[in-house]
Amino acid sequence: MTTTTTTTTTTATATTATTMTVTHTDTAPLLWFAGPVGFVEVPLDGTADQRLDRLWEAFDAIGADVSPEQRLGTAVNAELLLQAQLEQGLVHLANCFYRTDGGEVMHAVFAVSVAPAETGGPLTFAARTAEQWAAARPAAEIGVLDLPCGRAVVATEDRTVTVPGQLYGLEQASESRFRQIEAAIAHPDGVHLVRVVLSTEYLEHWSDWAVVMGAALRGLSFRDPLTAVRERPVAQLPAGVEDRIRQAFG
């Protein structure tokens, strides 16, 4: 059973509060991450109709001029992605709707999954997996990224999903194209794999979405951020400096 709770922690600046999502299962250790700013979490235990209602509300919030066709297309693609990711240990899903200066409405999906996997050790996982992905996914851009929580293998690629025709009242199925950036990180326990994925159909502003993904990855942690702050050593002033400060300020 997957359990998700939300707590609030404080960043290193001691002035900014960041909401952290804490996710764990009956067998996997805890995982902390901060959902990207502007993304709204989707309850995974809801029905497809409930998720559709939430998407409609999100569209209404940014403007009633969004066409029914765009709303339906976005809803269908989001649901297809959700169903595929649930099979991969999905623990967190969030949507973002954004209106550009030109009036275009864009949509992106952010997802985190944790699934059992023999990673072969966190230290060598990223390099080994990068080689495997490069061979299996020749059209993808593959790389290794150093993160505060460890090394991640990252893939960026264009993908397609088949959309059943009956969803649009058509006889034949169609295909929908989207771009995704996927990061895979070996959990320190050695037997779980963490995947973080951001995907969107709107490629004109892909560089902006990539920045959002980078910030989310840097916020990933396998330790309670509050514990890390409490355990951080207190800086010690050099001998004599503290006395001089006291003399200067009385």
With bands split at pLDDT 50, 70 and 90, how would you rate the model's confidence at 123? confident
Mean pLDDT confidence for 113-117? 88
Per-residue pLDDT reduced to its tens digit, 56-89: 676 666 666 666 676 666 666 666 666 666 667 8
Helix (H, G, I), strand (E, B) or coil at 77: helix
Residue 245: its pLDDT value, please? 46
Residue 21: its pLDDT value, please? 62
Mean pLDDT confidence for 8-30? 44
Per-residue pLDDT reduced to its tens digit, 201-229: 888 888 888 999 999 999 999 887 776 54
Residue 213: its pLDDT value, please? 93
Residue 127: its pLDDT value, please? 95
Residue 38: DSSP 8-state: T
Average pLDDT along the chain? 74
Residue 205: its pLDDT value, please? 82
Query: ∠ CA 75-80-83 to the nearest 5 degrees?
Result: 125
Helix (H, G, I), strand (E, B) or coil at 55: helix
Tokens representing 241 are: 């400096």
> What residues does each domain of the chain span?
24-231
Tokens representing 26 are: 């009956």
pTM of the shown model: 0.70
**How far is 111 from 41, CA to CA, in rounded Å?**
9
Q: Is the pLDDT of residue 243 over 60?
A: no
**How far is 26 from 99, CA to CA, in rounded Å?**
40
Helix (H, G, I), strand (E, B) or coil at 72: helix
Per the CB < 8 A criterion, the answer to whether 161 and 87 are in contact is: no
Element (H, E) at 10: strand 2-10
Residue 196: its pLDDT value, please? 95
Residue 144: its pLDDT value, please? 96
With bands split at pLDDT 50, 70 and 90, how would you rate the model's confidence at 250? very low
